[in-house]
Amino acid sequence: MTPADRFAKLPALLADDADLLRRGRWLTVECRIDIGAEPFHLTLEDGVLASLERGPRLMRSTAFTVRGTEEAWRCHWKEMPEPGWHDLFALTKRGAASLEGDLRPLLQNLQYFKDLLALPRRLPEAS
Amino acid sequence: MAPVLDPMVGRYVRLDIDGTPHRIYFEEAGQGIPLVCLHTAGADNRQFRHLLADPEITRRYRVLAFDMPWHGKSTPPDGWEKTEYRLTTASYTAAIRAFCQALELDRPVVMGCSIGGRIVLNLAIAHAAEFRALVALEAADFQQPWYDTAWLHRPDVHGGEVCAALISGLIAPQSPPVSRHETLWMYMQGGPGIFKGDLYFYRVDGDLREKVKTIDTKVCPLFLLTGEYDFSCTAEDTLRTAAQIPGARVQVMKELGHFPMSENPAKFREYILPVLEKIASTKG
């Protein structure tokens, strides 16, 4: 399974996490997450993933974009990630990920997004 | 049933720092060699509660951990509401020396973490003869910034929550969830703009590159310990710093991050006990 295939399972992973849903209840935003070359468009409403669209969308506007290389996400989602790959900002500091756009909703809900983007860690690595 | 009490006792000490009166909160436990503990930026002395309650340490050390001015239960100085807090190398050094003098500590050991580790390096540079030994946790002469501190203090982002969320990644994934969240809780409780003000020292005023080369470990032994999961002060940052200081002892701590004493007290103990044993057994 590619990193993008793993990220595509985000709706089920989030739906299964009552604590994360509770913490995200104030959050409504549209954002974009790039897994390597593949963009994903997320629509979050009150912390719930209303839609996850995989692939390019013409003229789609988003508040912010988090981009990471395939290697970045693969390493980030190891069951026990290595030092330097274990946090979103560890990835940006090493140049393997970037944050672009209006970062305010991201920073206002930073722990939620860190935990959201780490959810694929719960999937079996070998699958 | 008898009350279950932790062994540390908390008090306030009155002292002047650079002519300004302060009321500083500290906790202490144990007897013997004074060991002054310096917490990380934006936090408070609670980070050291496990050391304060460790009989293996307190049987030989008088452990003292104080809340820096503006932090924890230390009362901010009169007129605080009209100033923007900014920690500097000079003000931080003055606060530590004032605390040691007010408590009449005789050549204490000082152990600091993060900004506390950085200032320990400055103590080694400028005041080594005043200390029996210095222990710098998560310390380096300089570190590459990894976020914009402007996000830490603005009305549209909750300061406590964003501070905690930013630093949460500096905790090793192996650290117990209870200790992780206790560490984060302290960050959520800092005063507005205080973490940001501490980082002024860290990023702007406290660059010790070149200066660390002047440290003489024959005057005062220096120990550096850094967790492998700390990507703020990386193991490479600490090793680079130690390589410039003849006689400095350095260790990279496995499965620990930027807050070793609070994020995983049991694991940190494995590393710090031999250091404290070494210091205690060396004629001071």
Mind listing the pLDDT tens digit for each residue in B213-270? 999 999 999 999 999 999 999 999 999 999 999 999 999 999 999 999 999 999 999 9
**Residues with Cβ < 8 Å from B210, sequence gap 6 or more?**
none
CB-CB contact of A9 with A116 (8 Å): no
**Residues with Cβ < 8 Å from A2, sequence gap 6 or more?**
A70
Strand (E) or helix (H) holding B20: strand B20-29
CB-CB contact of A85 with A11 (8 Å): no
Q: Residue ranges of the domains in chain A?
A: 3-122
Interface of B with A in 135-154 (CB under 8 A): 144, 146-147, 151
Question: Any idea which residue has 């940052």 for tokens?
Answer: B237
Residues on chain B touching A27 (C-beta within 8 angstroms):
none
- Across the interface, whether the CB atoms of B169 and A89 are under 8 A apart is answered yes
A84 touches chain B (CB under 8 A): yes
d(CA A120, CA B7): 43
Whether the pLDDT of residue A6 is over 50: the answer is: yes
Selecting from B157, B231, B235 the residue whose C-beta is nearest the C-beta of A93 gives: B231
Whether the pLDDT of residue B160 is over 60: the answer is: yes
Average pLDDT for B142-157 = 96
Whether the pLDDT of residue B203 is over 80: the answer is: yes
CB-CB contact of B186 with B43 (8 Å): yes
Among B246, B31, B220, B18, residue whose Cα is nearest residue B127: B220
pLDDT of residue A126: 55
pLDDT of residue B46: 98
Average pLDDT for B136-161 = 96
Mind listing the pLDDT tens digit for each residue in A59-71? 999 999 999 999 9
pLDDT above 70 as % of chain B: 100
The SS3 of residue B186 is: helix
d(CA B222, CA B105): 19
Selecting from B146, B172, B235 the residue whose C-beta is nearest the C-beta of A89 gives: B146
Amino acid (1-letter code) at residue B12: Y
Mind listing the pLDDT tens digit for each residue in A23-47? 999 999 999 999 999 999 999 999 9
Average pLDDT, chain B: 97
Q: Residue ranges of the domains in chain B?
A: 9-281
pLDDT of residue B216: 98
A109 φ, ψ to 5°? -130, 40
Average pLDDT for B113-140 = 98
CA distance B108 to chain A (A): 34
Selected residue of B138, B152, B163, B168 to mutate for chain A interface (largest A Cβ count, 10 A): B168
CB-CB contact of A61 with A43 (8 Å): no
Whether the pLDDT of residue B207 is over 50: the answer is: yes
Average pLDDT for A73-88 = 98
A32 φ, ψ to 5°? -130, 135
Whether the pLDDT of residue A53 is over 50: the answer is: yes
pLDDT of residue B1: 87
A3-122 carries CATH number 3.40.50.720? no
Average pLDDT for B129-137 = 98
CB-CB contact of B261 with B48 (8 Å): yes
CB-CB contact of B149 with B196 (8 Å): yes
Interface of B with A in 179-238 (CB under 8 A): 228-229, 231, 234-235
B164 touches chain A (CB under 8 A): yes
A104 touches chain B (CB under 8 A): yes
Numbers of helices and strands, H then E, in chain A: 7, 5
Mind listing the pLDDT tens digit for each residue in B92-109? 999 999 999 999 999 999
The 10 Å Cβ neighbour count of residue A18 is 8
- For B95, the token pair is 């606060």
**Distance from the first to the final alpha carbon of chain A:** 6
pLDDT of residue B284: 65
pLDDT of residue A127: 46
Among A48, A46, A39, residue whose Cα is nearest residue A8: A39
Structure ipTM over 0.95, yes or no: yes
Strands (E), B77-207: 109-113, 133-137
- For B199, the token pair is 């980082």
Fold annotation for B9-281:
Rossmann fold (3.40.50)
pLDDT of residue B217: 98
Average pLDDT for B131-153 = 96
